[in-house]
């Protein structure tokens, strides 16, 4: 006897993927609430946040997007919407909850993207890029839908955290560690890079044009 939509053969990578989906979906739903979206709009934003990066990754890898063959991702997104509704006072009203769930999703999806690309037989530099796309692209789509400048294009260390996580995954493999250990180390690396950079105000230099001279310059420290 089988139960529809439920797969009992869940690997550690699947668990990371599902937890990342839940975290990213909550970040999308939570952010859409600030724009006063209705429930359907919130679900759509949460869903594309959760599956957007992985969809682009799968298209690049030439495979069917993962959510089209496994309905559990839509179910997880629906559960994230219910979670935000039930715990609205805690999740919506506290500003740091968006950052927490977004950082968790970023870390876990980077690992998923790296490993799926690696399993497809790609070289390390492609795996790092696929990890970055999986982690960051969903957030870009989310920000476009809610009409804000995508976080990845601002001063925050966001995509660079994904690249750092991919490097730590590769380094862990070179050290001969088991796959699960590599996944955990890479996810922690992304999470810590993201948290520490925000905490200490570490930012990438911004590119701007001087209105007086017309010259394009690099401004450090994110000055305005």
Over residues 34-61, the pLDDT tens digits come to 888 999 999 999 999 999 999 999 999 9
pTM of the model: 0.86
Task: Indicate whether 97 pLDDT > 90.
Answer: no
**134 Cβ contact partners less than 8 Å away, ≥ 6 residues apart:** 53, 54, 56, 57, 109, 110, 112, 113, 114, 116
**146 Cβ contact partners less than 8 Å away, ≥ 6 residues apart:** 31, 32, 34, 35, 37, 45
- What are the tokens at 41? 């709009």
User: H or E element: which one contains 219?
Assistant: strand 216-219
Instruction: Give bridge partners of residue 217 from the DSSP assignment.
Output: 208
Q: Which pLDDT score is estimated for 91?
A: 78
Distance CA 178, CA 169 (A): 11
- Residue spans of the domains in the chain: they are 12-222
* Coil/strand/helix, residue 214: coil
User: Phi/psi at 173 (nearest 5 deg)?
Assistant: -65, -40
Over residues 124-161, the pLDDT tens digits come to 999 999 999 999 999 999 999 999 888 788 767 899 99
- Pair 54, 115: CB distance under 8 Å: no
- What are the tokens at 26? 């909550």
Instruction: Give bridge partners of residue 219 from the DSSP assignment.
Output: 206
Instruction: Name the nearest CA neighbour of 133 among 66, 190, 61, 56.
Output: 56
């Amino acid at each position: 006897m089988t139960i529809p939509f439920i797969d009992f053969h869940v690997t550690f990578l699947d668990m990371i993927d599902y937890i990342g989906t839940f975290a990213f979906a909550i970040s999308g739903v939570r952010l859409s609430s600030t724009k006063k979206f209705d429930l359907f709009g919130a679900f759509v934003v949460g869903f594309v946040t959760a599956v957007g990066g992985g969809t682009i990754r799968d298209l690049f890898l030439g495979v069917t997007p993962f959510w089209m063959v496994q309905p559990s991702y839509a179910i997880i997104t629906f559960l994230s919407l219910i979670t935000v509704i039930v715990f609205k006072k805690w999740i919506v009203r506290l500003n740091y909850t968006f950052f927490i769930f977004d950082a968790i999703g970023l870390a876990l999806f980077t690992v998923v993207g790296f490993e799926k690309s690696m399993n497809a037989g790609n070289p390390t530099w492609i795996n790092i890029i696929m990890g970055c796309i999986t982690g960051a692209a969903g957030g870009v789509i989310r920000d476009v839908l809610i009409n804000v400048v995508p976080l990845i294009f601002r001063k925050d260390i966001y995509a660079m955290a994904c690249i750092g996580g991919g490097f730590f995954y590769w380094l862990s493999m070179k050290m001969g560690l088991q796959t699960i250990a590599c996944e955990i180390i890479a996810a922690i690396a992304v999470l810590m890079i993201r948290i520490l950079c925000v905490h200490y105000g570490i930012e990438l230099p911004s590119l701007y044009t001087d209105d007086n001279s017309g010259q394009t310059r690099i401004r450090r420290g994110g000055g305005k």
